[in-house]
Structure 1
Amino acid sequence: MPSISTNSLVVVTGITGYIASHVALTLLREGHRVRGTTRPTSIERANSDLKKAFTENGITSEILQERLEIVGLDGDDFYSEEAWTRVFDGADGVEHIAFPIQEIDASAVDKAVQNATNMLRAAKQTSTIKRFVYTSSAMATIIAPDYVDRTITVKDWNESAVNVIVNGASIDDYPALKKAGMLVTYAAAKVMAEKVCFEFMEKEKPSFELVTILPSTTLGPVLHGKPSMTPGLIYSTMQNDISWKDNILPQWTVDVRDVAKLHYLGLTREDMVGKRWFAASGPWGPNDIFAIIRKAFPGHTIPDNFEGGERDKQQYDNSGSTSLLGGKWIGLEQSVLDTIESLRARDLVKVEGRV
């Protein structure tokens, strides 16, 4: 099936989210129409916040009026084939970015699988859909500090997390995972949901095509609202607060704009079909972030480096994604500084000048 063409309608789930808002912005810039989902109680605010953010990033009010639509889905709808069939009506592509789990508990895996399954069933019932891009996670391959002395590839699956969370193995048998806490459940949920996607394609043979994107720690400018997820680490650091340090594991990093570009390419490139793709540019550690901020803002108080804040030693083969991006990723320094600038522009952080 051909990839989507200009002026296609693309459903973006969880459109107010950090990554999803960037994906929507990229789609609008590329001439597509966007139907974003959010909670029904958030529609008015989402319309206001996103339109302001998109306008600030070069999208005219006329384009937004014509090309941006936001629809509400409540908690139960996220697991309903019927609800997703309504949302997908007339759509050409799907960017499923939202993770439909509010609490990372024992039910997270079942919920993630149920959500993915019913969305795929709904997509199969929608004859216009050509591509389904699913946002997985680099943790679906391995989760630090479960280090292996070889390069991780997209052929790897995080079987350690699955064995503990799904198969009932004792975490004592996987001591490296103990520090990961609830992220073990998150990783297992991502593994099982992503596998369901590929199994569905093999068994059901729908007319649409599947691409999965596996982002690592994502940094870069925040388009609206207060920072959450990983940009929140930079926000806290700028407040001289690193209470998060014991919950952060060595990983690779990626700029949110590169993640958005890979999601867009997943809709448009034939060579991505049926495959997994890392969104990961290189290793990082909290101490790297501290060094970048100290250099750029020498007058700002930044926490001291700490043991365990070194960069990840695990290697990933990101050569395929590197090629898709023309051999160039946005680097960690630019990601960190652009994150800070996006927060400073909205008076969320106070910082003097920049070297």
Structure 2
Amino acid sequence: MVSSNLFDLPQTALPIGSLVVVSGASGCMGIHICDQLLGLGFRVRGISRNVKKSGWIETMFTKTYGPGKFELVEVPDFSIPGAFNAAVKGAHGVIHTAADTSLDLNPDNVVSPMVSAAIGIAEAAASTPSCSRLVYTSSSSAVADPAPGIVRKITNETYNEETVIAAYSPDLRQDLVGGHTVYAAGKVKTEQALWKWYHSRAPNFVMNTVIPSPCYGEVLYPKAQGFTAAMGVLKMLWDGNGSEEIVKMFESQWFCDVKDVASLHVGALLLPQVKSERLFAYAGKYTVNDLLRIFKTAYPSREFPEEVENILEDSTEVPNERSTEVLKLLGLKGWKSLEECLEPVTKQFLDASR
């Protein structure tokens, strides 16, 4: 039995104390994954595009877990062939969370480099004899766009082909929503390319993908990380931005807690019985009005945007049963509620404004 403050694992696919490589280690999700693996006794090598900018991570983790447990290495350009070879050397497992979250409106700048990076790190893992597990962070955007009020069923084979078409359309919105469409297209093409590579290449490792819906929750080191990606847009809403552009970013759909998703990555990496699976991190449904009500209940003296009238709720059926089972196999109770997701991060928003 392997235990930490968070998990109870009867056995693990990787030996405790072995090396796990995590790309995107400074991201909101990536840093939680690193933290949970370190808590279980693994050594972690984080990948950053700029070590000088992200060096605080190594300082923080060394302070918490002691020397020799975490190291940060630099890979400036993920799309160059062989870029990850040195970073992955000696690893028993690899988790690729890094993605282009710039919201660049030009798909040529986003899609192909994202695919190249994922295939590149997979090739590096395949060339590393010790590596027996690879986990890729996909996105609910790779599966389907939000469709409030429409009854539909998502399956393990569902991909968001429509968003790829939209990303290359001359009618692409020239705002945050359009940037997210391009990001989503990159996620679609990357996950598809990875699975195609995996089945044709047949490497000597098990690959799983984790598919998070929008992630909210505690930022591990907010003073150093700030609020980026979904948490950054959430802060815009918290700060009173109720514009159509921002509200559109919170279309009715599913959500998940960032720590739960980090744990799902740990399960995809370490549970021997989880093999060649797409794990859907969908905790529950929400609307932008749910966010606003939670904000207003917790902080009645603050001003927030007005609720949206005649809002439609999500009616999508999703295959999240296996992901729920994986969390329970780790010894967790299951998914956090929306209130549990928002409580710590809204306190951090408040602290940041003081």
Is the Cα contact below 8 Å between 1:106 and 1:185 reproduced in 2?
Answer: yes
Indicate the residue corresponding to 1:84 in structure 2: 84
* Cα distance between partner residues in 2 of 1:305 and 1:317: 30
Q: CA deviation at 1:50?
A: 5.8
Indicate the residue corresponding to 2:3 in structure 1: none
* Cα distance between partner residues in 2 of 1:146 and 1:180: 16
Indicate the residue corresponding to 2:184 in structure 1: 187
- The correspondence for 1:339, drawn from 327, 345, 352, is 345
Q: State the AA in 1 paired with 2:107.
A: A
* Cα distance between partner residues in 1 of 2:185 and 2:217: 26
Q: State the AA in 1 paired with 2:327.
A: L
Q: State the AA in 2 paired with 1:105.
A: N
Larger deviation, residues 293-302 vs 13-22: 293-302
Is the Cα contact below 8 Å between 2:100 and 2:183 reproduced in 1?
Answer: no
Q: Aligned with 1:83: secondary structure? A: coil
CA pair 126-323 structure 1, distance change in 2 beyond 3 A: same
Is the Cα contact below 8 Å between 1:16 and 1:50 reproduced in 2?
Answer: no
Larger deviation, residues 264-273 vs 225-234: 225-234
* Cα distance between partner residues in 1 of 2:30 and 2:37: 10
* Cα distance between partner residues in 2 of 1:308 and 1:15: 40
Q: CA deviation at 1:308?
A: 6.9
* Cα distance between partner residues in 1 of 2:49 and 2:216: 25
Q: Deviations over 1:205-224 (max 9, x none)?
A: 11011000000110001122
Indicate the residue corresponding to 1:220 in structure 2: 217
Indicate the residue corresponding to 1:328 in structure 2: 334
* Cα distance between partner residues in 2 of 1:4 and 1:216: 27
- The correspondence for 2:37, drawn from 13, 19, 27, is 27
- The correspondence for 1:48, drawn from 56, 66, 72, is 56
Indicate the residue corresponding to 2:353 in structure 1: 349
For 1:80-159, list aligned pairs within 5 A. 80-100=80-100, 102=102, 103-107=104-108, 108-145=110-147, 149-159=151-161
Indicate the residue corresponding to 2:202 in structure 1: 205
Q: Aligned with 2:229: secondary structure? A: coil
Q: Aligned with 1:348: secondary structure? A: helix
Structure 1, unaligned runs of 5 or more: 55-59, 173-177, 351-355
CA pair 316-334 structure 1, distance change in 2 beyond 3 A: same
Q: CA deviation at 1:201?
A: 1.4
For 1:275-314, list aligned pairs within 5 A. 275-307=277-309, 311-314=313-316
CA pair 115-45 structure 1, distance change in 2 beyond 3 A: closer
TM-score, length basis structure 2:
0.85
Q: Aligned with 1:271: secondary structure? A: coil
Q: CA deviation at 1:234?
A: 3.4
CA pair 9-250 structure 1, distance change in 2 beyond 3 A: same
Q: Is residue 3 from structure 1 mapped to residue 5 from structure 2 by the alignment?
A: no
Q: Aligned with 1:150: secondary structure? A: strand
Aligned-pair RMSD on alpha carbons? 2.6
Percent identity of paired positions between Structure 1 and Structure 2: 29
TM-score, length basis structure 1:
0.85
Structure 2, unaligned runs of 5 or more: 1-11
Q: CA deviation at 1:318?
A: 0.9
Indicate the residue corresponding to 1:57 in structure 2: none
Q: State the AA in 2 paired with 1:46.
A: S
Larger deviation, residues 266-275 vs 235-244: 235-244
